[in-house]
Every structure is written in structure tokens, then in C-alpha cells.
Copies of this chain bind each other. A is one copy, B any other.
Amino acid sequence: MTETAQTISDRIHQMLDDLTRAERQLALSVLENYPASGLGPLAMLARDAEVSVPTVARMVQKLGYKGYPEFQAGLREELKARGKTPIAKHDTWAEAAPSGHILNRFTEAVIDNIRLTLGQIDPASFDQACALIADEAHHLYIVGGRITHTLAEYLFLHMQVIRPDVTHVQSTSNTWPHYLLNAKEGDVFVIFDVRRYENNTLKLAELAHARGARIILMTDQWRSPVHQLATVCLSNRIVVPSAWDSATTIMLLLETMISAVQTLNWSQTKARIEELEDMFDQTKLFRKFT
């Protein structure tokens, strides 16, 4: 295990003592700003380290690489791996299962999706989206497609509690034009559209946009064509080892949004939630305890 888990930087450090003058000079220069300097041309590295070109060539072979390009490839690999957050480096999430088990492979992919999605999100846009959704002065429409209507429904169920004037529209239903009749300028549409993008959804978005509505789009990394009409576009990475796409990242953003919106509207929401709880108590739909 001393072999595999070792970074190139470690290996250089280790052999630092056995090196000759020029080699050590080179090694230290590589470590100086690691790994950037090793990723340039060989000649540049030689110049920066103030050693000759052949010295560099001999050195990389001493490190066990067949040539300089191979050494660079090693550095790039390392850099790629480092890009992942420490927490993301778990190779086994389900500790009892082998790392090749679908539980680990899938989770790994989802964590990656989350990392990349969050990394490229603009907090200002996100906040703006939350503000739009929280704005009770305008009606809120929530639109989902064939698969995504489940996410839309999830958002709807929560929004229904948090604020009045919420409607869930299913773009695959042929009744949606009726809803649009009531849409007024300034109304807010939360639209879910991931590949394969649905024509109905696009048409709905176009009509809504034409009526002066503002659109918040939840889509994938390739972005539904709706994004051209959207006020805010939140794109999620959805790639997993499966024949299907993943909605987990979208769900995460969704719940974060729900939490944020709720905070914005807390004074009103509080009363509404209490009322709802009362109603549930009365209907005895739920158990108080196990």
C-alpha cells in the first residue's frame, strides 16, 4: 500500500536525499509550485530550475516514468483527484459493501453531481429565485413534465403550505392552456425540464413568457431550450451509472429552496403551518407516536 497511495510529490520528497546537486535543484523547483511547474514544457521546467534539459529527462526516468509526457499525465491524474472535496474522496460510502457495489458507485456519482452543481451555481441567482417564489403578490405556477412532475408536485405540496396562490400544472396534460388563461403579468413559473426536453413544456413557457410572466427553470447541465426565456436558470448535473438520469441533485436544490423561501415568509408561514397541523389532528390522518 506504500506504493499505490503515494503522490508524486511524496515520492520526490522521499528520494530527495539520494539526489545529486542538479537533481535536487530540479526537484525543489518542481515542488516549489506544485504541480503547476511540472505541467509546462520540459524546456521551461529546465529553465526555471536552472538545470539543463537532459537533466530533466534523466530525472523523470529515475522517477520511473517512460518519458516526460507520462510524468505529466501522472501529475494531471493527481490534480484531477485532488479537485474532489475530502469528503467526496470516500471510496466506500456503504462501508459494509465492496467499493464496486452499486450503492457505492451510485453515491459516488451523486456526490460528484452535487459538488459540480453547487460549484457552478450563482448564489445571487439562487436568492433571486427564492425571492420570486416567496413573493405573495403574484401567483405561483409550478410546471413539471413526464418524470419531473413528481418533483413539481413535491415543491407544490410544500409551497401550498408556505403561501397562497399556488398551482401545479402538468405540461403533459392537455388542460394546461386553461391555466394560462389566468396568468397575469409578473406571475412566477417554476418550470422543470430535463432531457429529453418536452415540446409541451417549451410551448407553455413561451406562452407564459409572452404574457409577461417570470420563469425559474430547473434543468440539467445541457439546459432545456426554455432557458432562453428564463429569469433564473438553475442547471443540475444529473449523470449517474444508470440508464436513467438522477433527480437527486435537483431534489437537493429544491429542498434548499423550500427552506430558504420558508425563512423569507416565516411570519405568514408559521400561522399557516399551525392551522394545517390542527386540521391534521382533527382528521386523525396521522399518528402522534408509534
The yes or no answer to A258 lying at the interface (CB within 8 A) is: yes
Residue of B nearest to A34 (CB): B83
Query: Bound state CA distance, A228 and B136, in angstroms?
Result: 44
Interface residue ranges of A239-290 to B (CB < 8 Å): 240-244, 246-248, 251-252, 255-256, 258-260, 262-263, 269, 273, 280, 284-288, 290
Copies in the complex: 2
Select the residue from A84, A104, A123 with max chain B CB neighbours within 10 A: A123
Query: In the bound complex, do residue B32 and residue A263 qualify as a contact, i.e. CB atoms below 8 Å apart?
Result: no
Q: Which residues of B contact A251 (CB under 8 A)?
A: 247-248, 251
Query: In the bound complex, do residue B97 and residue A123 qualify as a contact, i.e. CB atoms below 8 Å apart?
Result: yes
Q: Which residues of B contact A33 (CB under 8 A)?
A: 79-80, 83-84
Flag the segment in A49-57, A152-160, A180-188, A207-215 that touches B.
Answer: A152-160
Given A150-B157, A151-B150, A251-B247, do A287 and B13 touch, yes or no (CB 8 Å)? Answer: no
The yes or no answer to A146 lying at the interface (CB within 8 A) is: yes
Nearest-CB distance from A248 to chain B (Å)? 5
The yes or no answer to A165 lying at the interface (CB within 8 A) is: no
Residue of B nearest to A273 (CB): B243
The yes or no answer to A65 lying at the interface (CB within 8 A) is: no
Residue of B nearest to A269 (CB): B243
Nearest-CB distance from A212 to chain B (Å)? 22
State which of B104, B244, B290 has its C-beta within 8 Å of the C-beta of A225. B290
Query: Bound state CA distance, A261 and B190, in angstroms?
Result: 32
Given A94-B121, A255-B248, do A200 and B285 touch, yes or no (CB 8 Å)? Answer: yes
Query: Bound state CA distance, A157 and B247, in angstroms?
Result: 13
The yes or no answer to A128 lying at the interface (CB within 8 A) is: no
Query: Bound state CA distance, A73 and B256, in angstroms?
Result: 33
Query: In the bound complex, do residue A199 and residue B286 qualify as a contact, i.e. CB atoms below 8 Å apart?
Result: yes
Residue of B nearest to A32 (CB): B116
State which of B40, B149, B241, B263 has its C-beta within 8 Å of the C-beta of A76. B40
Query: Bound state CA distance, A84 and B36, in angstroms?
Result: 11
Given A147-B154, A151-B150, A286-B196, do A240 and B221 touch, yes or no (CB 8 Å)? Answer: no
Query: Bound state CA distance, A148 and B153, in angstroms?
Result: 10
Q: Mark A54-67, 1 if CB is under 8 A from B, else 0.
A: 00000000000000
